[in-house]
Structure 1
């Protein structure tokens, strides 16, 4: 099965980094994503999507992103069921961020008044926990073009 979401939108508020009881960094924020179509009156419709990021990704968002900035989020959609303080059953739909990237150009980000640091260091997620067996260059052999028969 496949559960992958790629979103690009603007942060609706400044993200606030928190830590769990076991000291894991977590951040929750929402982004405004414009739809491709306009409504019946010609107005652009916007969806507000809740995002959750953990560990290094959460720290990266906290350090580099502020309200109004364009962000690209790659992750998976998850639902969560819970009860509110009145005992009503609720469901939340969130995107759990695996990757985040800047949606604005560096020039746009640095030209703004909300720049957090002068020494910009982009975040690069570590490589996925997979290994690929790529043959060395000398493991390939040439195939002769002149075998005389067409294989199809």
Structure 2
């Protein structure tokens, strides 16, 4: 059996980073992926929910944002839940195993803020600013 999804698209908004009660990072974002269309039709896109776990979730939250181009490699997961009115619903999402950042921030854009791994001894949560040339990947 095979469950593999590979997508390339742009983030519709900044990733939302949270932590489980056990302290595991999880980030969620939506990817807009263009559909192939006949030449005489307007562009259409699918909006696909992506879930990223652990260190990669933190990297996504720190280094990418709305409009950035990424490639996601993962698996499709369908889950069921009861909404606020007790109606059974299904949600499809891609559980990302690998997220590749495919573009750079625009020139003159805002700098990224993230805890820099080389400054861990400066105190938890200390933030520094740096530009896209400093990003290690």
Report TM bin, short chain: 0.7 to 0.9
Instruction: Quote the residue 1:51 is aligned against.
Output: 50
Provide the C-alpha distance between the structure 2 equivalents of 1:111 and 1:32, rounded to a whole number of angstroms: 23
TM-superposed CA distance for 1:115, in Å, is 3.7
Question: Structure 1: any 5+ residue segments left out of the alignment?
Answer: 123-152
Instruction: Quote the residue 1:14 is aligned against.
Output: 14
Q: 1:48 to 1:114 in 2, by over 3 A?
A: farther
Match of 1:111 among 71, 94, 107: 107
TM-score w.r.t. structure 2 length? Answer: 0.80
Pair 1:65 & 2:58 matched: no
Q: Look up the SS of the partner of 1:37 in the other structure.
A: coil
- Kept after mapping to 2: 8 A contact 1:11/1:31: yes
TM-superposed CA distance for 1:114, in Å, is 3.8
Aligned length: 118
Instruction: Quote the residue 1:42 is aligned against.
Output: 41
Larger radius of gyration between Structure 1 and Structure 2: 1
Provide the C-alpha distance between the structure 2 equivalents of 1:86 and 1:115, rounded to a whole number of angstroms: 43
4+ long deviations beyond 3 Å = none
5 Å matches for 1:131-142?
none
Deviations 1:55-103 (A, max 9, x none): 0110110111010000110000000000001000000000000000012
Question: Structure 2: any 5+ residue segments left out of the alignment?
Answer: 113-129
TM-superposed CA distance for 1:110, in Å, is 5.1
5 Å matches for 1:67-86?
67-86=66-85
- Kept after mapping to 2: 8 A contact 1:38/1:45: no
Q: 1:69 to 1:15 in 2, by over 3 A?
A: same
Bigger fraction of residues in strand:
2
Instruction: Quote the residue 1:25 is aligned against.
Output: 25
TM-score w.r.t. structure 1 length? Answer: 0.73
Q: 1:92 to 1:69 in 2, by over 3 A?
A: same
